[in-house]
Amino acid sequence: MPPLTIPDVDVIRVTGGVKLAGEVRVVGAKNAALKLMAAALLATGTSVITNIPRITDIALMGEVLRRLGASVDFDDDLVRVEVPDRLRPEADYDLVRRLRASICVLGPLLARCGEVRVAHPGGDAIGSRGLDMHVAGLAKMGATVHSEHGFVVATAPYGLHGGKISLDFPSVGATENLVMAAVLARGTTVIDNVAREPEIVDICRMLIAMGASIEGAGTSELVVHGVDALQPVTHATIGDRIVAGTWAFGAAMTRGDVTVHGIDPHWLEIALDKIAHAGGQVDHDVDSFRVRMADRPRATDIRTLPFPGFATDLLPMAIGMASVADGLSLITENIFDGRFMFAEELKRLGADIHIEGHHAAVRGRERLSSAEVTASDIRAGAGLVIAGLCGDGVTTIRAVHHIDRGYPNFVGDLRALGVEVTRAEAPADPVYGF
């Protein structure tokens, strides 16, 4: 197995007119594995996290942890994180700007060190995602938090204490940071209106195995009783529901037949229901599902909401399905204000999309037209590739390093499902800065 590295910027070319058909297995969820790696900082010793995806973001998080003083060793689909007694409580800008998820070290470092400096995060260009709820919650636990010179600086020289926290919105990132800070705080912390995503439940499962006392995982309220110390563990990451959902919509869009393994289909209940409403046949098993679409999809209205609602990360695929559906679909984005950025690229493939505020009216076409497009974020990149399969020729997708941040072996999985696809080094182009 080659070492996990950060790849060069390439292009992907796909030939349209194919029906996705076959079986594919998803591995660990990116949005869980990254935070599990951060959670390992809470215990001195070596924690092992298995079923991790071999993607760029995992490599970046590994380097973030190394610079904090941990030893990180990747071996096939697992990572060993050896955490020393003393950590360096500062996450530098040059890595944090490339990986927004690295803000999740804020809570663990504050709990372990009593102080932390984390650069303001970067990440995908999908809209504003402030840290107000992170800051307000930590303040309720006794921390002093401010910004200086591009860093979030938090201190709690006498340690954190329990408190009552109510989130304005069920933010995944704020929930993660606050629960990871609370597990080592004195007393009991009650966090209301928390995120309920399966990835949050997975983090709580690992923390409980480490010795934390957490009640309410998967509900809208978490009760955390602080403990003096945690112990390292071995923990398996849950399957990636967003990758699984990508293949589900790919099957629906191309009128194909795809079985996805390694995922609890209940985590995709709303998305799979929408595909069924569009005319697809969906069959469930314990850790797999099958999607078949015999005819052109029917128009279906979709709106994104926090879990258990329709996931915002699947919005590009939902708009892709609407762009080839029979009729007019109304797609509403309620989470990120910049999620529709990729729609301009989808229009280059002939999609009929009209955007007003956080609504997109999409009138489906029988077939899209092939073109050259550019990915702006992880899910937009995957969505454009799948949309290219509905084109009338070869579609070239640029900036596919974004896809590498969320989809391991994306090209290999496409080939296994019958796609004619190539990946090549991107030609120099000053317009794109490659």
**Catalytic positions, written as ranges:** 124
Alpha carbon dihedral 112, 124, 418, 325, in 10-degree steps, equals 130
DSSP H/E element including 165: strand 164-166
Q: If 0-12 CB within 10 Å is exposed, 13-18 middle and 19+ buried, where does residue 320 land?
A: buried
Q: The tokens of 336 are what?
A: 């990120």
Round to whole Å and give the CA distance between 342 and 136.
32
Scanning the structure block, which residue is given the tokens 């999985």? 413
Identity of residue 15: T
Task: Write out the two tokens for 77.
Answer: 């689909």
Identify the CA nearest to 308 among candidates 192, 176, 195, 167.
195
Q: Round to whole Å and give the CA distance between 276 and 321.
A: 12
Nearest partner of 425 among 14, 2, 8, 55, judged by Cα: 8
What Å distances lie between residue 429 and 198, 426, 434, CA to CA? 41, 8, 6
Stated as kind and residue range, the H or E segment containing 402 is helix 401-404
The pair of structure tokens assigned to 282 is 């969906």
| Residue 331 structure tokens | 């797609």
Q: Measured between alpha carbons, how far is residue 372 from residues 6, 352, 398 in Å?
A: 24, 17, 8
CA distance 403 to 411: 10
Which residue reads 């399905």 in tokens?
321
Query: Cβ(14)–Cβ(414) under 8 Å?
Result: yes
Closest C-alpha to 11, from 431, 397, 332, 353: 397
Angle, CA 189 vertex, CA 185 and CA 193 arms, to 5°: 135
68 in Cβ contact with 137 (< 8 Å): no
How far is 156 from 111, CA to CA, in rounded Å?
8
Helix (H, G, I), strand (E, B) or coil at 176: helix
Q: Which residues contact 206 (CB under 8 A, 6 or more apart)?
A: 36, 39, 49, 233, 235
